[in-house]
Structure 1
Amino acid sequence: MAYIPSHALAGLRNYRYKGVDKSILSNYVLNPFWTWFVTLWPTWVAPNVITLSGLAIVLFNFASLSYYDPTYLTEKGGATGPPNWLYFTWGIGLFMYQTLDAIDGKQARRTGMQGPLGEMFDHGCDALNTTVEVVLAAYALNLGRSWWTFGSQVATLANFYLTTWEEYHTGQIYLSVFSGPVEGILMIVTIFMITGFYGPSFWDQKILTFTRLENVEWIASRVPNLAINTSFMIFAGVGLGFNIVTSYINVFIARRASGGPVVKPLLYLLPFPVSVLLHVAWLNHPTLRNSDIINSPAFVPFLCAWGLQFAHVVGQMILAHITSQPFPLWDSMYIWTIVGAIDANMPILFGRPPLIQHNPENTEKFVFVVLAVAFVTYARFVVLVISDITNYLGIACLTVRKKDARGVWRSALPPKSSEKRV
């Protein structure tokens, strides 16, 4: 089955990337650095290779966690984790990912390879990186296997879904004064660096005690003295609320300007909270309170399976945007979450034990099956979409080439005079 219907392929030629970046840090600090850094790359390097290199770096970071703590044994206040120097590599790796993710578009313009394929490739890698960084950041914050880690996954994926939803309805990407791809990533880099210096237990300190504000009676009597990592999670929740409001304002303005409905787009947000509720129901296993997913080595695979499912969902949203197709309200990957949630709650729904997850071992096996299916499904999506786009537009994915009118592959590099003007 093709993901792009034949009648929608023509929309690929009409696609044009549009973006608004209001970040002061991005415009005045990082962008000059990115503009210089892209010149270090030869013009024969395809922009998607740069994007893929960034993803490879963060996947290596994830692999290093798997090496030092293969079963994710460290829980809050629990076992000793990896050596502190490893957190520095995570911070450096994430900063390199941000840099490479920022310059791939610049490289595309240098090589004449800008287009819808780059949009799909870039956002696909971003979707995968989102879950990887949730796992690593929660580990560095000493949250361990907990509902706080699950909550951070919810908030992070929600922001990504919101941004994709906003782009679909406005036709462009908005980066606010404080955005996830810029300030959010740098905040996580800072977390990794602090953890490298002081260790994960640093984040268990009470925030008022650490800041010495507990000595200020007016503050101490009104503000709860929460752990620093818990306070960070609450801050992330407030940030999500702010992003929801600002994203809808942008959609409202764009839809009103185009004469379209301003309330209907809100309905397209519903699939995400529904999927969150399904995952909560699945995690809240009523018959295995002491051996549920959160308290087992299956917790990280559970998050990864959800991350791959999510990448498939937003991938189809982005594909609908660049091909001018209807917004996808349903994705086949939801089926596995529905099955997991219903089976886990069979005692409540039907008064009988789960058919599949009736013991901890089966629960873990089922989670790994869902992870495998999600991986294969998303890999298939990536291969088919890349094949459809490259074949229709006559371009290559990982090399700087295009097909001429006779179907012969030729370099897509602009003339040297054009390169000098970049």
Structure 2
Amino acid sequence: VPNGVWVIVGLLNFIAYTLDGVDGKQARRTNSSTPLGELFDHGLDSWACVYFVVTVYSTFGRGSTGVSVFVLYLLLWVVLFSFILSHWEKYNTGILFLPWGYDISQVTISVVYIVTAIVGVEAWYAPFLFNFLYRDLFTAMIIACALTVTLPMSLYNFYKAYKNNTLKHHSVYEIMLPLVSPVLLFLLCTAWIFVSPTDILEVHPRLFYFMVGTAFANISCQLIVCQMSSTRCQPLNWMLLPIAVVLFVVTSGFAPTSETLLLYVLTAFLTLAHIHYGVVVVSQLSRHFNIRPFSLKK
């Protein structure tokens, strides 16, 4: 990869992070803040999670000094659950608290790209302290942010709402409802990895990650719509069904040589379905609020 590409990627990542942080302020400044903007903001963030994780770990590679595809899969889920946890919190408390772990990660990613342009990817392969590699440092940072910032703050804010009697839901089932689909998605995809006859994650890691990230984004977007409209979250997202069907076909031996094709078809189907969902929801919200997407004109 040419050094200039790393510079461009680093700058674009920082610009995207900056714009992601100021869009809400700009909307309030122009008196154009609506639930549609919130859906755009956090809905796109939910889909971007997979890109942030996979691209930054591409600098470390998959060799002895890199990251195995399964470890990266688990790290992706740490990030995804951290994301959904904040929206689970808002679903139950009505308040969205975004921990600063996200800010640290985005600045760090941008710096890594710029440094890579200067020193080359080979610099990340050498130990930085004793026998600890840079990939170990990044892994520790992701897990530490999730366990010491995101999870404690969400639980603390949930506890405060409980003590103040301001929770929007009171039964354990209703409280945990938004987490059912993400957990099932994790179980289905993890089961696929373990029973795959062609070792699908090893052969097509990026495609598998993207499939997981797309299904997760749809689950997140539907949760965001529920929390904005104060409606009940559905326990099962429909995208779990085609994933379960593919898993059944793979494990049953009906198509032992077509697993890669099934993954491609499934990913394309989920992607088109998620885009269609986004277009329909944006159109409906635009008509409801009598606004135009991407425009301040009424």
What TM-score, normalized by structure 2, do the two folds share? Answer: 0.89
Counterpart for residue 115 of structure 1: 34
Contact 1:141 1:191 in 2 (8 A): no
The 1-side partners of 2:274 and 2:72 are apart by 24
Contact 1:141 1:200 in 2 (8 A): yes
Against the structure 1 CA distance between its residues 201 and 283, is the aligned structure 2 distance closer, same or farther, given a 3 Å change threshold?
Answer: farther
Contact 1:207 1:231 in 2 (8 A): no
Against the structure 1 CA distance between its residues 185 and 393, is the aligned structure 2 distance closer, same or farther, given a 3 Å change threshold?
Answer: same
Counterpart for residue 254 of structure 2: 355
Per-residue CA distance 1:267-310 (angstroms, 9 max, x = gap): 5434323321221111223533xxx22222x3212111211111
Contact 2:195 2:251 in 1 (8 A): yes
Alignment coverage as a number of residue pairs: 290
Counterpart for residue 165 of structure 1: 88
Per-residue CA distance 1:308-357 (angstroms, 9 max, x = gap): 111110000000011110123210111132223333333xxxxxxx223x
SS at structure 2 position matched to 1:140: coil
The 1-side partners of 2:132 and 2:75 are apart by 17
The 2-side partners of 1:135 and 1:187 are apart by 15
Per-residue CA distance 1:59-108 (angstroms, 9 max, x = gap): xxxxxxxxxxxxxxxxxxxxxxx223322211111101011112222221
- Are 1:198 and 2:119 matched, yes or no? yes
Counterpart for residue 238 of structure 1: 144
- Aligned with 1:183 (options 87, 91, 104): 104
Task: Give the number of the structure whose alpha-carbon radius of gyration is greater.
Answer: 1
Moved more, 252-261 or 273-282: 252-261
Counterpart for residue 366 of structure 1: 262
The 2-side partners of 1:235 and 1:106 are apart by 29
The 2-side partners of 1:282 and 1:319 are apart by 29
Counterpart residue identity of residue 327, structure 1: C
Contact 2:101 2:145 in 1 (8 A): no
Q: CA deviation at 1:128?
A: 2.0
The 2-side partners of 1:268 and 1:128 are apart by 17
Against the structure 1 CA distance between its residues 89 and 152, is the aligned structure 2 distance closer, same or farther, given a 3 Å change threshold?
Answer: farther
Moved more, 302-311 or 144-153: 144-153
Contact 2:177 2:233 in 1 (8 A): no
- Are 1:248 and 2:248 matched, yes or no? no
SS at structure 1 position matched to 2:97: strand
Q: Which runs of 5+ in 1 are unaligned?
A: 1-81, 210-224, 347-353, 403-422
The 2-side partners of 1:145 and 1:199 are apart by 21
Per-residue CA distance 1:18-63 (angstroms, 9 max, x = gap): xxxxxxxxxxxxxxxxxxxxxxxxxxxxxxxxxxxxxxxxxxxxxx
The 2-side partners of 1:381 and 1:112 are apart by 27
The 2-side partners of 1:271 and 1:136 are apart by 26
SS at structure 2 position matched to 1:114: coil
Per-residue CA distance 1:127-184 (angstroms, 9 max, x = gap): 22211222211102324661122122111111111111112212122133x321x112
- Aligned with 1:312 (options 218, 225, 244): 218
The alignment's C-alpha RMSD in Å is 2.0
Counterpart residue identity of residue 237, structure 1: I
Counterpart for residue 132 of structure 1: 51
The 1-side partners of 2:265 and 2:44 are apart by 23
SS at structure 2 position matched to 1:337: helix
Per-residue CA distance 1:359-381 (angstroms, 9 max, x = gap): 2xx22211111111111111111
Q: Which runs of 5+ in 2 are unaligned?
A: none
Counterpart residue identity of residue 381, structure 1: Y
Higher fraction of helix: 2
Structure 1 runs (4+) greater than 6 angstroms displaced:
none
The 2-side partners of 1:269 and 1:241 are apart by 17
Contact 1:256 1:262 in 2 (8 A): no
